[in-house]
Structure 1
Amino acid sequence: MGNREDLMAGAKRCLYEKGYGRTTARDIATASGVSLAAIGYHFGSKEALLNAALIEATGDWGEGLVTVVASAASMSDDPEERFVAVWDGVKETFVEHRGLWAAQFEAVVQVEHAPELRQALAATQKEARLGLAALFQGLAEVSDTEEELARGTFYQALLAGMALQWMAAPEQAPTGRDFLQGLRLVGGSVLKPATA
């Protein structure tokens, strides 16, 4: 690996261990075995490096999510059972990636005072939503349509809500079955019945 890759790996390690706000440039340099000056040379600033590391670490987590969804799809042909299995599997990923989720929530809180962070996170929203829409439908990719963006937005909201509840109290976080029951109840009270 070169200095740039070492810095990225060190920054991701710091995000997991120290969080977004508590990570210093010196922490990253130490974790990566690279000089402080290399951060500025390769990324411009510690913040730019942390933003890139946060996005890349989230992508790494997403690769594990692909396995969760594939495993759920192979368990049952019943869409409801697959839905439950996927969301139970998602919850399990939080255990290994707790530091990442803590860093993400910490970063989101700081966007009011960090325009470059807001811009970095905003730049990934559409891609993330389309990626989630494809993933949860078992597709390689989906078209950039309003329907797929809406689907991805729904999944992103469920994911962030589950992560937040799990971070606060893992034992009280919703299960896949809780989500399925909620979907039935909300759908039943909001959606108009299909006409024949």
Structure 2
Amino acid sequence: MGNREDLLAGAKKCLVERGWARTTVRDIAAAAGVSHAAIGYHFGSRDALLTRALVAAVDELSDELARRAPGDAPEQRWQALIDSFTTHRALWVAQLEAAVQAERSPEVREHLARGQREGREGLGGSVPLALLSGLMLQWLVDPEHAPSGADVVAELRALGASGEPA
């Protein structure tokens, strides 16, 4: 691997281990085994690198989920996604941290906005993306009371039948 790839791998590792807010340029450089000046050379800034690393990690998770649940029933597909809130918790938390950073960084905002556009395409629209975000928050904050995949599908069916929130 070259410095660019090493930096992406190091940034992904730091996002998982330290989170967005606690990851420094020095942390990434140390994890990648390169000079911290390489970050500026290859990515322009720490935020640009962390955003790229986050998008790459989310893409990898999406690919993993697509391989695990092709052709499964809706309850199983939602449950596979819900399970990822536990197995990939640090990645989901890093996404939340990045969303907060987007308020002050147009660069981060643009990368995340592009990711949301792709997410809407991949999930089939804005409502499934909003549902995903809400489920993620419920599972990160109160997993003992958060819905299962079967609960999600049942509530969506009830919502569809009535046209009103359940």
Superposition TM-score tier, normalisation by shorter sequence: over 0.9
Q: In structure 2, what is the equivalent of residue 122 of structure 1?
A: 113
Q: In structure 1, what is the equivalent of residue 133 of structure 2?
A: 160
Q: Quote the Cα distance in structure 2 between the aligned partners of 1:173 and 1:64.
A: 23
Tell me if the contact between 1:68 and 1:90 (Cα under 8 Å) persists in the aligned partners. Answer: no
Find the partner of 1:90 among 62, 70, 81: 81
2:60 is equivalent to residue 60 of structure 1: yes
Find the partner of 2:103 among 112, 129, 143: 112
What is the TM-score of this pair, normalised by structure 1? 0.79
2:152 is equivalent to residue 182 of structure 1: no
Query: Alignment length, in residue pairs?
Result: 164
Identity %: 51
Tell me if the contact between 1:10 and 1:31 (Cα under 8 Å) persists in the aligned partners. Answer: yes
Q: Which runs of 5+ in 1 are unaligned?
A: 75-81, 134-151, 192-196
Shift of residue 178, structure 1, vs aligned partner: 1.1
Alignment deviations for residues 129-167 of structure 1 (CA, whole Å, 9 cap, x no partner): 11222xxxxxxxxxxxxxxxxxx2122122111111111
Tell me if the contact between 1:20 and 1:106 (Cα under 8 Å) persists in the aligned partners. Answer: yes
Alignment deviations for residues 102-141 of structure 1 (CA, whole Å, 9 cap, x no partner): 00011112221111111111122222211222xxxxxxxx
**Structure 1 segments of 4+ aligned residues over 3 angstroms from their partners:** none
Shift of residue 68, structure 1, vs aligned partner: 3.0
Q: How does 1:14-93 map to 2 (within 5 A)?
A: 14-70=14-70, 73=71, 82-93=73-84
The aligned amino acid for 1:19 is G
CA RMSD of the aligned region, Å? 1.4
Q: Quote the Cα distance in structure 2 between the aligned partners of 1:69 and 1:154.
A: 20
**SS state of the match for residue 21, structure 1?**
coil
Q: Which runs of 5+ in 2 are unaligned?
A: none
Q: Quote the Cα distance in structure 2 between the aligned partners of 1:117 and 1:62.
A: 20
Q: In structure 1, what is the equivalent of residue 11 of structure 2?
A: 11
Shift of residue 168, structure 1, vs aligned partner: 0.6
What is the TM-score of this pair, normalised by structure 2? 0.93
